[in-house]
């Protein structure tokens, strides 16, 4: 088993970004379930995200979603984050929640709608300039429902044109992160359906365009760790949207459905050097809690990412390489499984104590009284996607 201390050092440095939209009310396509104490504005979402960081120590940033988190004064939002001990992270654009986007946003056949979508993307870059965010994350709901509805190649041309314009608008260290998704809301064609399409567009754009792998955005049975390994090898993996799924884009707690898959993904990240900050991979959560309480739901997800990372770090890579070189199939698989089957909870508890945290973040949050306090103080909390 590889070194515990080395594993702890890597885990201490790990940073997991929380989605602001995880803290608002959400639901299924049939019903949004209201919870007590949910944030009434972006400042309260930041306070809740900071709470997750306070208990886990490894979630120091929160991703914004525009316009859900639009405010007049981004300087004030950034200061609120800093005062709470966190920072503003990725800006997620929203070109899917407007009547005009019924037939698509940047790939819409109507140039006026395309212009409107592009203007929103530019506005997101303006916000990044103010928040100091490095990444603009683009997910497009664009696609078609019926054969013949629109020209597949023309839509790719329109997409390429919009991406090039946004990329051109970026400055300094800013990056464009393109997210793909197999289907939904479009059911016949999706304009960015898979990693290959996202990769091809990013390749054309340039060095600062990278792919986001949302773990819920593939066909069942897809080998996601292969995609991760490939993108890492090409220097094109920019971010993860971690969540878990049983059927489609379920957006459930990370590691709930398939913790072994999460371990396999993080093992590829670890062996490619992707855990180092210099690798520039944003480890984000993209979940919408529906029936579970939101803050502890995020804490649980952060802990699950940590556990999978810890197991990935414990793989004895020397023993693995020796077994692989010798063609020892069972030996190699055994090395991987030994690490996966290790109970890393004591190691993580030890790490948290060393970081001055309670070894049990879930219990510490429950004891803190924060949940009761926000339920009493915040009346009229909002849906995750309000204002759009
Ligand atoms: C949509 O399915 C994607 O996962 C996006 O990342 C989306 O922007 C995010 O879920 C917030 O709505
Ligand atoms: Zn996502
Ligand atoms: Zn999704």
Closest among 226, 211, 215, 146 to 182, alpha carbons compared: 215
Looking at the CA of residue 286, tell me the nearest atom of ligand 1: 10
User: What CA–CA distances, in Å, run from 105 to 95, 116, 121?
Assistant: 6, 8, 11
Atom of ligand 1 nearest to the CA of 243: 4
Q: Are 251 and 209 in contact (CB under 8 A)?
A: no
Confidence of residue 25 (pLDDT cuts 50, 70, 90): confident
Q: What is the pLDDT of residues 122-162, one digit of tens each?
A: 999 999 999 999 999 999 999 999 999 999 999 999 999 99
CA of 352 to the centre of ligand 1 (A): 31
- Give 206-209's long-range contacts (Cβ < 8 A, gap of 24+): 206/167, 208/167, 208/170, 208/173, 208/174, 208/175, 208/176, 209/163, 209/167, 209/175, 209/176, 209/177, 209/178, 209/238
Query: Which ligand is in closest contact with the Cα of 250?
Result: 3
Q: Which residues partner with 282 through β-bridges?
A: 239
| Residue 288, phi then psi, degrees to nearest 5 | -125, 110
Q: Which residue(s) pair with 189 in the sheet?
A: 144
Instruction: Please state the atom number of ligand 1 nearest to the C-alpha of residue 249.
Output: 2
pLDDT band at residue 301 using 50, 70 and 90 as cut-offs: very high
Q: How far apart, in whole angstroms, are the C-alpha atoms of residue 196 and residue 8? A: 35
Q: Is the CB of 243 under 6 A from ligand 1?
A: no
| pLDDT band for position 307 (cuts 50, 70, 90) | very high
Residue nearest to ligand 1 atom 8, measured at CA: 139
Residues 252-262: what's their mean pLDDT?
A: 97
Atom of ligand 1 nearest to the CA of 94: 8
pLDDT band at 381 (very low <50, low <70, confident <90, very high): low
Cα separation of the two ends of the chain: 50
pLDDT at 388: 35
The CA–CA distances, whole Å, from 140 to 106, 224, 287 equal 8, 20, 17
Distance 178 CA to ligand 2 centre (A): 10
Written as six digits, the tokens of 370 are 């924060």
The predicted pLDDT at position 382 comes to 67
Q: Is 141 in the pocket of ligand 1 (CB under 6 A)?
A: no
pLDDT category at 34 given cuts 50, 70, 90 is: confident
Q: Which two tokens stand for residue 20?
A: 């602001």
pLDDT greater than 70 at residue 384:
no
For ligand 1, atom 3, the nearest C-alpha belongs to 139
Mean pLDDT of 79-98: 98
C-alpha of residue 191 to centroid of ligand 1, in Å: 15
Residue of 120, 139, 193 to mutate, ligand 1, most atoms within 8 A of C-beta: 139
Nearest listed ligand to the Cα of residue 249:
3
Nearest by Cα to 74 from 148, 129, 17: 129
Is residue 249 within 6 Å of ligand 1 at its C-beta?
A: yes
Backbone angles phi, psi at 16, to 5 degrees: -120, 125
62: left (phi over 0), alpha (psi -120 to 50) or beta: beta
Q: Which domains does the chain have, with CATH numbers?
A: 4-377 (3.20.20.150)
Residue 180 has pLDDT above 70, yes or no: yes
Q: 3-state class of 42 per DSSP? A: helix
Res 159: pLDDT: 99
Is 80 exceeded by the pLDDT of residue 387? no
* Residue 286 Cβ contacting ligand 1 at under 6 Å: yes
Tell me the per-residue pLDDT of 271-280, one tens digit each, with 9 for 90 and over: 999 999 999 9
Residue 248 burial (10 A CB sphere; 0-12, 13-18, 19+): middle
The pLDDT, as a whole number, for residue 89 is 98
pLDDT beyond 70 at 270 = yes
Residue list, CB under 5 A from ion ligand 3: 249
Rounded to whole angstroms, what are the CA distances from 6 to 10, 308, 336?
6, 15, 18
| CA dist., res. 380 & res. 135, Å (int) | 32
Give me the mean pLDDT over the 335-356 stretch. Answer: 98
Residue 268, classified by CB atoms within 10 Å of its CB into exposed (0-12), middle (13-18) or buried (19+), is buried
């Amino acid at each position: 088993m590889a070194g515990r201390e080395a594993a702890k050092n890597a885990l201490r440095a790990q940073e997991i970004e929380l989605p602001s939209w995880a803290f608002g009310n959400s639901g299924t396509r049939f019903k949004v379930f209201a919870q007590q104490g949910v944030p009434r504005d972006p400042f309260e979402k930041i306070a809740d995200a900071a709470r997750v960081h306070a208990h886990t120590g490894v979630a120091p940033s929160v991703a914004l979603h525009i316009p859900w988190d639009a405010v007049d004064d981004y300087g004030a939002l950034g200061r609120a984050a800093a005062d709470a001990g966190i920072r503003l992270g990725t800006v997620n654009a929203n070109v899917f929640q407007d009547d005009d986007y019924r037939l698509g946003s940047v790939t819409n056949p109507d140039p006026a709608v395309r212009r409107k979508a592009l203007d929103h993307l530019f506005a997101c870059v303006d916000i990044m300039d103010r928040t100091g965010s490095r990444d603009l994350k683009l997910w497009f709901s664009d696609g078609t429902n019926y054969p013949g509805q629109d020209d597949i190649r023309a839509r790719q041309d329109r997409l390429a044109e919009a991406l090039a314009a946004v990329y051109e608008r970026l400055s300094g260290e800013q990056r464009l992160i393109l997210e793909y998704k197999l289907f939904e809301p479009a059911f016949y064609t999706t304009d960015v359906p898979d990693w290959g399409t996202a990769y091809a567009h990013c390749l054309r754009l340039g060095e600062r365009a990278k792919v986001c792998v949302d773990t819920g955005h593939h066909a069942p049975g897809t080998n996601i760790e292969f995609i991760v390994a490939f993108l890492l090898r090409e220097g094109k993996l920019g971010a993860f949207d971690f969540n878990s799924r049983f059927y489609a884009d379920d957006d459930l707690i990370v590691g709930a459905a398939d913790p072994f898959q999460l371990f396999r993904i993080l093992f590829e990240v670890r062996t490619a050097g992707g855990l180092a900050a210099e690798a520039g991979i944003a480890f984000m959560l993209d979940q919408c809690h529906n029936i579970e309480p939101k803050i502890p739901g995020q804490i649980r997800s952060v802990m699950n990412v940590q556990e999978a990372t810890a197991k990935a770090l414990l793989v004895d890579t020397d023993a693995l390489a020796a077994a692989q070189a010798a063609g020892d199939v069972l030996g190699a698989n055994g090395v991987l499984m030994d690490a996966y089957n290790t109970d890393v909870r004591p190691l993580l508890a030890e790490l948290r104590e060393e970081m001055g945290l309670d070894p049990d973040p879930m219990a510490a949050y429950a004891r803190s009284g924060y949940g009761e306090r926000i339920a009493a103080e915040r009346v009229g909390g909002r849906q995750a996607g309000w204002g759009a």
